[in-house]
Every structure is written in C-alpha cells, then in structure tokens.
Structure 1
Amino acid sequence: MVSTQQRYWAYILASQPRGTLYIGVTNNILGRVELHRTGKGSGFTSKYGVSMLVWFEEFDRIEEAIQREKSLKRYLRQWKINLIEQSNPQWIDLYPGLAARNDFSSGAS
C-alpha cells in the first residue's frame, strides 16, 4: 500500500565509483534523479555527468532532510565516500531498483 504521508530524501549522485559527487534533497526521489539522469536536474550534474544514485536517506520532515544535506556538504570527500561504501560498497546505481518499486512519492521535486 502506498503511503499518503509526504516523505523527503537527502541523496548523493556520482559520475562513477569514487568520481564527482553531488548532494541534494527532494520530496520525489524518483522524479528528481530522473531529471539529473536526463541532464535537466542541474547545470552541475549535466556538466560533469553525475547521474548515478549511490546513496539516499529518507526523512519524514523536510527540515531534517535539509539539515542532513547541509551536513553532508560540510563533510570531507573521504567521509562521504566512506558513507556511500558502508551501504553500497560496489557503487551500484540504486535508481533502477528504486524505479522498479511502487512505494515512492510521485510529487514535485
């Protein structure tokens, strides 16, 4: 059953394993990552080919997601790499698996 409660995500995209990283926040993880994948998400992700979803965390409140995004952006690169590799050591693109599920928000990004 699909939840009607609004959800939010902080996420990290990569150009390749241990490549260029991009950190963002959204209320529609599928829609937002799709925009990045098609080159419409941001100038940075388009310019540097950053389109692999390698890490994400879900929140019930937008304030929590934004705080996490800000914290992640302050961390050193190696800390971010370690965070990704704790849950995704092979740097697998998580987007296809998420897109196959049907329990994610389809709201605005």
Structure 2
Amino acid sequence: MQETQQHYFVYIFGDQPGSEVQIGIADNLQEQITNRKVDSPQNNNSYPGKRLVYYEHYDVESIALNRERQIRSGDKDSTFSLIASMNPNWLDLSDTL
C-alpha cells in the first residue's frame, strides 16, 4: 500500500501593497482559495484580501507551522518584502498551483 504525500502550504492573502494581509497555513490551499473567493451569507469573508499573493509548500506540518510563526512574528515591512521577492506586482497566484 502506497502512502499519500502530505502537502502543507504557508500562504499570504492580500489585495495590494500596503494593505492588510492574512498569513496562515493549510493542507488544502485550493479549498482556502475557493472559500475566500465565494461570497455567500454562510461564508464570512471578514478576512483581508482575496488574492493569494504568496505561498510556500512543505511536506512536513511542523516545518510549515514554524515557518508560519516566523512570518507572523515579523513586521509589515518584512512581510511585504517577502511578498515582493516572489510576487512584486501582487498578482493572484491561485492559478499557479
């Protein structure tokens, strides 16, 4: 029997440089993207940003959790610099998965 490969994503959602961002971790990033983009009464979209502007992929959950904590512990400038290193135009990266 073959084990399935686990996937963990550290992500940042935002709208534009200088705007509020949300940093998180997910084992199903596509589901996070879909939930964020669907406007419905059941889906409370109170989170900032509908665009996936940054993500990192990990095979080990504990490493992904540590990376998320590291990004969260930084200031806004370091978060914006991180986004700019991968996505300087803050494009929606959801189609690149």
Give the TM-score category using the shorter length.
0.7 to 0.9
TM-score w.r.t. length of structure 1: 0.75
Query: How many residues were matched structurally?
Result: 92
The C-alpha deviation readout for 1:41-99, integer Å capped at 9, x for no partner, is xx5xx22542110000000111111111111111000000000001101110101332x
Give, in angstroms, the shift of residue 6 of structure 1: 0.9
Q: Give me the whole-angstrom Cα distance separating, in 1, the residues matched to 2:5 and 2:11.
A: 19
Matched, 1:89 2:79: no
| 1:28 corresponding residue in structure 2 | 28
Please identify the structure whose Cα radius of gyration is greater.
2
**1:71 corresponds to:** 70
> C-alpha root-mean-square deviation of aligned residues, in Å?
1.8
In structure 2, relative to structure 1, the CA distance for the partners of 1:83 and 1:27 (3 Å cut) is: same
Letter in 2 for 1:10: V
**d(CA) in 2 for partners of 1:65 and 1:56?**
11
Distance 1:49 1:23 in 2: 10
Between the aligned partners of 2:79 and 2:59, the Cα distance in structure 1 is 23
User: Structure 1 regions of 5+ residues with no counterpart?
Assistant: 99-109
Q: Deviation above 4 Å: which 4+ runs of structure 1?
A: none
The Cα offsets for residues 4-35 of structure 1, whole Å up to 9 and x where unpaired, read as 30110100000333311000101111111211
Residue in 1 that maps onto 2:38: 38
Q: Is the 8 A contact 1:20 1:48 kept in 2?
A: no
TM-score for the superposition, normalised by structure 2 = 0.84
1:102 corresponds to: none
Residue 96 of structure 2 aligns to a residue whose secondary structure is helix
AA paired with 2:53? V
